[in-house]
A and B are shown apart, each in its own frame.
Chain A
Amino acid sequence: MSVVQARGLSKRYGSTVALDNVDLDIQPGRIVGLVGPNGAGKTTALKAILGLAEFDGQLSVMGLDPRTHRTELMQQVSFIADVAVLPRWLRVGDAVDFVGGVHPRFSREKCMAFLARTKIQPTQRVRELSKGMIVQLHLALIMAIDAKLLILDEPTLGLDILYRKEFYNTLLGDYFDEQKTILVTTHQIEEIEHILTDLLFIKEGRIVLDASMDDVGERFAEVMVNPDKADSARALKPLYERQIFGKSIFLFDGIDRARLAELGELHKPSVADLFVATMKGTYA
């Protein structure tokens, strides 16, 4: 059974279309990256999945409709948002007590064990913590919940590279297993591309790429082509072309590798390259 299944998921804010007929299937045990430019509809999609926003179309999360079964859903879904939502006056110990009080699947022991690995003290207030420490606290609270689906919306925004690495290290080492599913949005795509099992690109409210990382590796290829062969490369309808040192670099989708190898040296494009190629013209 899909963890998330959407059919014709749509959302408008006035005359602006935030989500335009989105179809989605997310399977258990996957780490899915939802990537798109600012304003593409990422957060709107996550809000719909969490039952935090109204929407049109069909959506089922863990087999439940987020519009009508939000309370049951919240027992199985956790969420870290890109905006700090922990009240600044709250003490760390009280935050642990609170989540322990409201969430039936929260393990206090786990949470304290995570916190013990940080410099965070239970008596500290949120306002005394650095941004990195607030995310650590948030992560400790969330990872202590035995939830099937974890949704992360720009979880490492504004963190330095040490905190960012530690964040994903903890997530992979202490949280994730094949029974769990993670859906994550981030702009720091090059840092997490090897963590992902699946990639979703969203552009202007539409899903423009939905593929496993294995498929991405097989479908897309980058070729560095000398000027004399550039026209034959263009005839194969590349997704994207850029120039470096008088050579052209073409990005192809689904063209036979043997054929491309005749044009020049083949490379596997990074997710960032794919992103740039797919999103061209977004802000124009």
Chain B
Amino acid sequence: MSITWNDNAPIYRQLRDRVVAMILDGVLKQGDALPSVRQVAADFQLNPITVSKAYQELVDEQLVEKRRGLGMYVTDGARDALLQSERERFLREEWPMLFARLKRMNLDLQTLMKNAPTNGAQS
């Protein structure tokens, strides 16, 4: 398995983002075990300290919990918590810019909804 990392963020951060995306996409569900640090280090050819750091971030954010002697597990409610924080972030950071843009182009809600992708044909 080969992955390319971008050079604008530390790799542990990018690894953390990957796990977050997997939780949001439902690939990792609550109660699922994360692969061991050793396994991830070998698979992605990373040093184990980088992997531990990514996992520690997830633990600090309470998205993942350490069960002694067993490993790391996705916490109950991790996806809901993530959805909640992602929604807040969208409303805080992206929505004002998007709103301003829509206003500039004079796009009203009705037009937008009329052109909304139908179910099953989402991009």
Chain A residues with CB under 8 Å of chain B are 31, 165, 168-170, 172-174, 176-178, 191-192, 194-197, 213, 217, 266-270
| Main secondary structure on B side of the interface with A | helix
In the complex, B49 has a CB within 8 A of chain A: yes
8 A-B residue pairs with CB within 8 Å: A172-B47, A194-B11, A194-B44, A194-B47, A195-B47, A217-B10, A268-B7, A269-B7
A191 to B11, CA, bound (A): 15
> Which of under 10, 10 to 19, 20 to 34, or 35 or more describes the interface residues of B?
10 to 19
List chain B residues, Cβ under 8 A from A213.
Answer: 47
Does B45 lie within 8 Å of A197, measured CB to CB? Answer: no
Chain B residues with CB under 8 Å of chain A are 5, 7-8, 10-11, 38-39, 41-50
Looking across the interface, which residue of chain B has its beta carbon closest to that of A196? B47
Does B46 lie within 8 Å of A194, measured CB to CB? Answer: yes
List chain B residues, Cβ under 8 A from A173.
Answer: 38-39, 41-42
Does B38 lie within 8 Å of A267, measured CB to CB? Answer: no
Output the least CB separation between A196 and chain B (Å): 6
Does B8 lie within 8 Å of A194, measured CB to CB? Answer: no
List chain A residues, Cβ under 8 A from B44.
Answer: 194
Does A178 lie within 8 Å of B48, measured CB to CB? Answer: yes
Given A168-B45, A173-B42: A194 and B7 within 8 A (CB)?
no
Does B46 lie within 8 Å of A195, measured CB to CB? Answer: yes
Does B8 lie within 8 Å of A172, measured CB to CB? Answer: no
Does A270 lie within 8 Å of B7, measured CB to CB? Answer: yes
A165 to B46, CA, bound (A): 12
Does A172 lie within 8 Å of B11, measured CB to CB? Answer: no
Looking across the interface, which residue of chain B has its beta carbon closest to that of A168? B45
List chain A residues, Cβ under 8 A from B5.
Answer: 194
Given A194-B5, A217-B10, A268-B8: A165 and B47 within 8 A (CB)?
no
In the complex, which of the residues A176, A192, A266 contacts B48, with contact meaning CB atoms closer than 8 Å?
A: A176
Output the least CB separation between A211 and chain B (Å): 14
A75 to B8, CA, bound (A): 43
Looking across the interface, which residue of chain B has its beta carbon closest to that of A265? B8
Given A194-B11, A267-B8: A172 and B49 within 8 A (CB)?
no
Does A31 lie within 8 Å of B47, measured CB to CB? Answer: yes
Output the least CB separation between B56 and chain A (Å): 14
Output the least CB separation between B87 and chain A (Å): 30
List chain B residues, Cβ under 8 A from A267.
Answer: 7-8
Does A197 lie within 8 Å of B47, measured CB to CB? Answer: yes
Looking across the interface, which residue of chain A has its beta carbon closest to that of B11? A194
List chain A residues, Cβ under 8 A from B8.
Answer: 266-268
List chain B residues, Cβ under 8 A from A165.
Answer: 45
A269 to B7, CA, bound (A): 7
Output the least CB separation between A194 and chain B (Å): 5
A194 to B44, CA, bound (A): 9
A194 to B7, CA, bound (A): 12
List chain B residues, Cβ under 8 A from A174.
Answer: 42
Does B42 lie within 8 Å of A169, measured CB to CB? Answer: yes
